[in-house]
Amino acid sequence: MKVHFLGIGGIGVSALAQYYLAKGHKVSGSDLVFSEITNLLKKRGAKITIGKNVAKKDANLTIYSPAVTVHPRGVHTMSYPEALGELTKQHFTIAVCGTHGKSTTTAMLSLILIKAGFDPTVIIGTKLKEFGNGNFRAGGEPKRNVARTLLRGRNVLVIEADEHFGSFLNYWPEMIIVTNIEADHLDYYKNLKNVKKSFKKFIGHLPKGGILIQNSNIKNQNDNLKLKKILKVPGGHNVYDASLALTAARALKITDKISLKALSKYKGAWRRFEIIKTKPFILVSDYGHNPQKVMAALKAAREKWPKKEIWCVYQPHQYQRTYYLFDDFVKAFKTAPVNRIIITDIYDVAGREETATKKQINSQKLVQAINKKKVIYLPKDKIINYLQANMQSGQIIIIMGAGDIYLLTDELEKMKI
């Protein structure tokens, strides 16, 4: 079968493309720009067209990213959530959802399942060293003695279930893990009430006897002490995510001995408090892009390096998010336990911005509202020179945001002080 993807460079869509490659199908795709992900897909056998998203007439199936605004319609065309939804019906599916912590929780639980012999297929919204620096793992049949009654002969699929555009309402899992529910994607949901309503509807997709894991299931505080001791990744938010993974593993009858061993070996994920280098300064790349994620990452940094000077370079992600969560961002940066903050221009998410909002908000307004001497605005092309002139050996620099700010890490990796 020939499967063609529009927006193949997306973190979710690219994982699905790898699923079809692993199944032996011919995979092609298009996207606007080259990236590490499109290069990875090419190496794995996909034919990639760069410059614009174009359909292929000879494709048996066309799958498009929700971010692609113009796409063909027809019986052989599906959105990414629709296509992934079909796979969830064919597997024992575990879906990890929530405002933040999805990638880390998905990664942690996947490693536990691998160690326990479940041999899961995994579709995740980040890259893992354990997956060859990829965002997909092809699984197989679980070992014979693994949760036979529960799985009923089905292979296991673990997915990161995104709530934006109501995407997760296409999925039909046997287990749902909810990391948290907070106000985000308000360009789509408008308010927290609608966010909660959507999550409630998704939880309603569980079948009779389905398993729901949420923070109310985490009852044993001793678990948090054990996890804090064994985890290589810092921060209370990582302990929390590990607690959810451990609770889910117990529901699947996996022993704590197996789970804790797997969690102790977790190396962290791409752009999730990823330590890039340690000399002459420590460079960290982080995906944080809403106020809670920003604060969690910066608290983790202060916890790990209590006496060092910490810099944060932050790129706001999407005008809509910055507009709707403006007051929360101001509060987060006012109280952030770091020494210096640089905020650069807002990352413009193509197809998801309103012209009116873009006229009302910018990074300079955010810096003015924070009104702290430790916070400044700089255009992205001025940041490296500023850091070169002002940073000192032994300091910490955290590059943060969900846009293209992470590209600065390549230059900073080479920078000497």
Which tens digits make up the pLDDT trace of 326-381?
999 999 999 999 999 999 999 988 666 777 788 899 999 999 999 888 999 999 99
Q: Name which CATH class applies to 91-264.
A: alpha beta
d(CA 383, CA 389): 10
Is 199 a residue whose pLDDT tops 80? yes
Provide the pLDDT confidence category of residue 236 given band limits of 50, 70 and 90: confident
Q: What pLDDT score was predicted for residue 220? A: 67
Question: Mean pLDDT of all residues in the chain?
Answer: 92
User: How far is C-alpha 65 from the geometric centre of its chain's CA atoms?
Assistant: 16
What residues contact 23, with CB distance under 8 A and at least 6 apart?
none
Average pLDDT over residues 402-408: 92
Q: Are strands 121-128 and 175-178 parallel, antiparallel or unpaired?
A: unpaired
In CATH, what class is 274-414? Answer: alpha beta
Q: Answer yes or no: is pLDDT of 51 > 80.
A: yes
Reported as a single tens digit per residue, the pLDDT across 65-76 is: 987 877 777 768
Average pLDDT value for residue range 4-8: 94
Burial class (CB within 10 angstroms; exposed 0-12, middle 13-18, buried 19+) of 196: middle
pLDDT band at 18 (very low <50, low <70, confident <90, very high): very high
**How far apart are the C-alpha atoms of 367 and 111, rounded to whole Å?**
40
Question: What pLDDT band is residue 283 in, cutting at 50, 70 and 90?
Answer: very high
Residue 96 pLDDT class (50, 70, 90 cuts): very high
Query: For residues 66 and 7, what is the distance between their CA atoms, to the nearest angstrom?
Result: 9
Q: Is 45 exposed, middle or buried (0-12, 13-18, 19+ CB in 10 A)?
A: middle
Q: Give the model's pLDDT for residue 351.
A: 67
Average pLDDT over residues 203-215: 95
Average pLDDT in the 205-226 region? Answer: 85
Give, in words, the CATH class of 2-79: alpha beta
> Could you tell me the two tokens for 220?
């044993």
Residue 3 has pLDDT above 70, yes or no: yes
Q: Is residue 303 over pLDDT 80? A: yes
Mean pLDDT of 1-22: 94
Comparing 359 with 256, which gets the higher pLDDT?
256
User: Is the pLDDT reported for residue 187 higher than 80?
Assistant: yes
pLDDT of 219: 62
107-132 pLDDT, tens digit each: 999 999 999 999 999 999 898 989 98
Question: Which amino acid is it at 399?
Answer: I
Q: β-strand 134-137 against 274-277: which pairing, if any?
A: unpaired
Three-class DSSP labels, the chain: CEEEEECCCCHHHHHHHHHHHHCCCEEEEEECCCCHHHHHHHHCCCEEEECCCCCCCCCCEEEECCCCCCCCCCCCEEEHHHHHHHHHHHCEEEEEECCCCHHHHHHHHHHHHHHCCCCCEEEEEEEEHHHCCEEEECCCCCCCCCCHHHHCCCCEEEEECCCHHHHHHHCCCCEEEECCCCCCCHHHHCCHHHHHHHHHHHHCCCCCCCEEECHHHCCCHHHHHHHHHHCCCCCHHHHHHHHHHHHHHHHCCCCHHHHHHHHHCCCCECCECEEEECCCCEEEEECCCCHHHHHHHHHHHHHHCCCCCEEEEECCECHHHHHHCHHHHHHHHHHCCCCEEEECCCECCCCCCCHHHHHHCCHHHHHHHHCCCCEEECCHHHHHHHHHHHCCCCCEEEEECCCCHHHHHHHHHHCCC
Mean pLDDT, to the nearest integer, of 178-182? 94
| Predicted local confidence at residue 72, as pLDDT | 74
Amino acid at 4: H
Q: Which of 242, 232, 221, 223 is nearest to 274 (CA)?
A: 232
Predicted pLDDT at 186: 84
Distance CA(48)–CA(35), nearest Å, equals 11
Residue 10 has pLDDT above 80, yes or no: yes
Q: Domain extents for the chain? A: 2-79, 91-264, 274-414
Note whether 8 and 17 are within 8 A (CB).
yes
